[in-house]
C-alpha cells in the first residue's frame, strides 16, 4: 500500500453485503466516496468487498484500520437478521454492543413514539460501547464512529447523507487534482514515452485506460496530483507526446489546466 504524502491522508473502504457479491446490487458507493475524499485530500487506497460474515468483517476492519488514517464501512446496519456489521465492529474492537441512549431517542423522534420502535428497529440503536453517532437525516437510524472507523448504511442516498456528517469528523489535506486527456492511439504506442514522463514526475500519478465509445477504441490518459505545477507540466508533456506520435489529443477534463490548453 502506497504511503500518502505529508499533505494527504489515507483511507480504505469495506463494502459489506452478499447482494453486492452476488451481483444483485451494483456498488455505486465506492466511486462516490473516492470522489468526495479525493477533494478533501484523503486518498482512497484500498476497497474490500466482503460477505455478511462476522469473521470477514472483523478481519477486514482490523487489518485496514492499522494501515490507513480512516476506514469507511457501508452496509449491514439495518434491522434484519443479516445486518451484523455493528456486532462485528464491536468484536473488532474487543467489546460488545449496548443500547445507545442517544441513538434510541433519535429513533423515537423519527418514528413518533417509543411504541413504534419495534425490536427490529431498536436493533439499529445497538452500537459499540463508546461509539460516536453519525447523523442520518434521511431514515433516522444513525451510523457510528469507533476511533478511525466510520460505519455507514449501504443505501447510497442514506450513506451520502451520513457522509456529510462524517466530513466534519476528519482531518483534510490538499485536494487531489485530476486531468484526463483522450486520444485514439494504442497503449503499446504510448507505453514507453508515457513511462518516461512518469519517471520525470514522481508526484503525479499517471494511468492509461482503454475505452470503447461510439464503436471506436480509444485511450484515456489520467493524471492526478495534489501539486498544480507538476501536474500542469506533466499534462503538457502528455499532450505533446500524443501529437508527436500522430494522435489528436482531446482534453476531456482539465481541472488544473496548463497554459494554452482548452477544456471541453
pLDDT averaged over the chain? 92
pLDDT at 56: 98
Domain presence at residue 1: no
- Choose the final residue of a domain: 169, 185, 208: 169
pLDDT of residue 4 exceeding 70: no
Q: What confidence tier does 7 reach under pLDDT thresholds 50, 70, 90?
A: confident
Domain presence at residue 79: yes
Share of the chain above pLDDT 70, in %: 93
Domain presence at residue 104: yes
pLDDT at 86: 97
- Choose the final residue of a domain: 146, 169, 192: 169
Residue-wise pLDDT for 218-254, tens only, equals: 999 999 999 999 999 999 999 999 999 999 998 777 6
Q: Left, alpha or beta for 93 (phi > 0: left; psi -120 to 50: alpha)? A: alpha
- Domain containing 207 — which CATH number? 3.30.70.600
Q: Are strands 9-16 and 42-50 parallel, antiparallel or unpaired?
A: parallel
Residue-wise pLDDT for 143-152, tens only, equals: 999 999 999 9
Quick one: 18 and 75 in the same domain?
A: yes
Share of the chain above pLDDT 90, in %: 89
Residue-wise pLDDT for 160-189, tens only, equals: 999 999 999 999 999 999 999 999 999 999
Quick one: 140 and 17 in the same domain?
A: yes
How many angstroms separate the Cα of 119 from the Cα of each of 50, 55, 114, 135?
Answer: 27, 25, 11, 21
Quick one: 222 and 100 in the same domain?
A: no
pLDDT at 22: 95
- Choose the final residue of a domain: 169, 200, 234: 169
pLDDT at 42: 96
pLDDT of residue 259 exceeding 80: no
Residue showing cell 488514517: 69
Host domain of residue 103 = 9-169
pLDDT at 65: 97
Amino acid at each position: 500500500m502506497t504511503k500518502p504524502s505529508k499533505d494527504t491522508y489515507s483511507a480504505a473502504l469495506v463494502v459489506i453485503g452478499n447482494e453486492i457479491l452476488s451481483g444483485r446490487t451494483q456498488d455505486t458507493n465506492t466511486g462516490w466516496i473516492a470522489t468526495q475524499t479525493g477533494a478533501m485530500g484523503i486518498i482512497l487506497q484500498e476497497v474490500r468487498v466482503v460477505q455478511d460474515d462476522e469473521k470477514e468483517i472483523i478481519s477486514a476492519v482490523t487489518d485496514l484500520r492499522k494501515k490507513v488514517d480512516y476506514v469507511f464501512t457501508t452496509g449491514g446496519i439495518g434491522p434484519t437478521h443479516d445486518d451484523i456489521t455493528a456486532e462485528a465492529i464491536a468484536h473488532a474492537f474487543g467489546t460488545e454492543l449496548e443500547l445507545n441512549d442517544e441513538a434510541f431517542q433519535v429513533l423515537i423522534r423519527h418514528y413518533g413514539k417509543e411504541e413504534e420502535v419495534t425490536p427490529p428497529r431498536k436493533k439499529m440503536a445497538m452500537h459499540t460501547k463508546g461509539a460516536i453517532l453519525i447523523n442520518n437525516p434521511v431514515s433516522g437510524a444513525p451510523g457510528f464512529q469507533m476511533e478511525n472507523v466510520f460505519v455507514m448504511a449501504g443505501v447510497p442516498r442514506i450513506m451520502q447523507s451520513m457522509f456529510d456528517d462524517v466530513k466534519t469528523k476528519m482531518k483534510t489535506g490538499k485536494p487531489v487534482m485530476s486531468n484526463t486527456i483522450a486520444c485514439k492511439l494504442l497503449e503499446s504506442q504510448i507505453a514507453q514515452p508515457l513511462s518516461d514522463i512518469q519517471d520525470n514526475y514522481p508526484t503525479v500519478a499517471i494511468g492509461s485506460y482503454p475505452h470503447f465509445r461510439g464503436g471506436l477504441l480509444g485511450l484515456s490518459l489520467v493524471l492526478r496530483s495534489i501539486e498544480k505545477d507538476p501536474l500542469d507540466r506533466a499534462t503538457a508533456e502528455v499532450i505533446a507526446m500524443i501529437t508527436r506520435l500522430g494522435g489528436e489529443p482531446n482534453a476531456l477534463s482539465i481541472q488544473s489546466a496548463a497554459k494554452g490548453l482548452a477544456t471541453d
